[in-house]
Amino acid sequence: HVQLVESGGGSVQTGGSLRLSCAPSGLSVSDFSMAWFRQPPGKEREAVAAIRRDDLTAYTDSVKGRFSISKDNAGSTLYLQMNDLRPEDTAMYYCAAGEGGWFGGPWSGVNQYDYWGQGTQVTVS
């Protein structure tokens, strides 16, 4: 039984920072491709950042230089450090885990990921 639980969301002012955490049960983040997606109000879900088993990372263009995805050494937690937040970053943020290694498809594809969290809300104003 796999569960992914996100935390760390909240309301911040423009230019502020937040760190999101994803604490899975039933899997180690070191053994899966992990990703953060977000869904702004009234829009489709979009990929934000991902980190592969070998620590290769990928980011969507709009967050490069501002966001950083990482995992702890024990493999128990996935993080998304978000700096210089903007109103356009307002969204529900979801943690995702995939059993593959981005082979045969883009890192940002929803179908690359097998497990999803419930989401944590980030609001920037």
Q: pLDDT digit string (tens) for 60-82?
A: 999 999 999 999 988 899 999 99
Q: Evaluate whether 51 touches 69 at the Cβ level (below 8 Å).
A: yes
User: What is the average pLDDT across 26-35?
Assistant: 92
CA–CA separation, 102 and 42 (whole Å) = 28
Q: What distance lies between CA 96 and its chain's CA centroid? A: 7
At 74 the pLDDT is 86
pLDDT value at 101 more than 80 = no
Q: Which pLDDT band holds residue 58 (cuts at 50, 70, 90)?
A: very high
SS3 81: strand
SS3 3: strand
The percentage of residues in the chain with a pLDDT greater than 90, rounded to a whole number, is 85
CA–CA separation, 51 and 1 (whole Å) = 22
Query: Could you tell me the CA-to-CA distances from 20 to 1, 6, 42, 101, 106 in Å, in that order?
Result: 23, 7, 22, 23, 23
